[in-house]
Structure 1
């Protein structure tokens, strides 16, 4: 039932007028349940939105693993996380509205798997000598913080999104001590991998 309410909330937001945000009654009507059922699982609208954001963040981690676990270049894999998230933000800004609300420090402290995926990607790149990482926490916060703010910007603009996404991903890599040339190459390779598997991504469209 909890999952049913989460999907109902997502459906309601996807079809709602942006000027009139949905309320709890809209969600329970979409789910076909009583209002009391909602409160068995969530105490407020804000709580279900946070839970929805966490669910979508986990989905993005799963997509990243599926597309990039087979990639050998650690710098390409490092570029892939921000690039995938930002591309998703440009193509489905309503869904990313929820993901941008996630408290990632709290989320990663509780989500062991998500933390392991991110840490492994960073450690792999450092062990290969392609990034400089004096502090795992600092680098993680820099990457996530920049990606989240980039996603928020993409929710509100349609101006040359592909260029913005590439430039921001390159800047993230440069912040890890990567040269401009190596950053561009890693972004190119990550982008090519995403395009190869675009047909498997339910949120992909060819208009962005």
Structure 2
């Protein structure tokens, strides 16, 4: 079995959340599946100094930065088709909202970049499961508006309202649990949308990984 991991860069404030990404990779490896890391070959929306939280006057590439997490073993998402993987998991991080969409500017009217939307739609049409962690469910809700999936980002009322304005259904969920949309094969967990530390988010991510694999085997 091959499970894709879609990364939005490297670093919570402008890319993929590293703890969430690493835990996803760890739990997938523990389950014995083949991991296919991927990212779009595009410029980052911005670059944040993770020490100060302030913007930096430099440019970075999402694929090149994501390669840090993947230890270099990563593909351009444009080179990955629905036939190459049995499921997909998206860790969170601000980079998901910033680099994969215009969610921060457009809210409920957000559009997902074509590279990411194409793969999500193709997976959905093929009946292959999608796991979305932290803020990533907003990308799923936007890309799959017509499906009206059921997802969670935890307990954030404002983001939950925005997700429902996209046509999706939001369920509140504790950090150590997940929401499973059996009909659409979509699994979501709040992770750092709710958790305060790596031990808090690990349990929910492990459950999500196991559920995605289980759905992929059906």
Same fold (TM over 0.5): no
Which protein has the larger Cα radius of gyration, Structure 1 or Structure 2? 1
Q: Give the TM-score normalised by structure 2.
A: 0.34
- Richer in helix (by share): 1
Q: Give the TM-score normalised by structure 1.
A: 0.35
Q: Which has the higher contact order (CA 8 A, sep 6+)?
A: 1
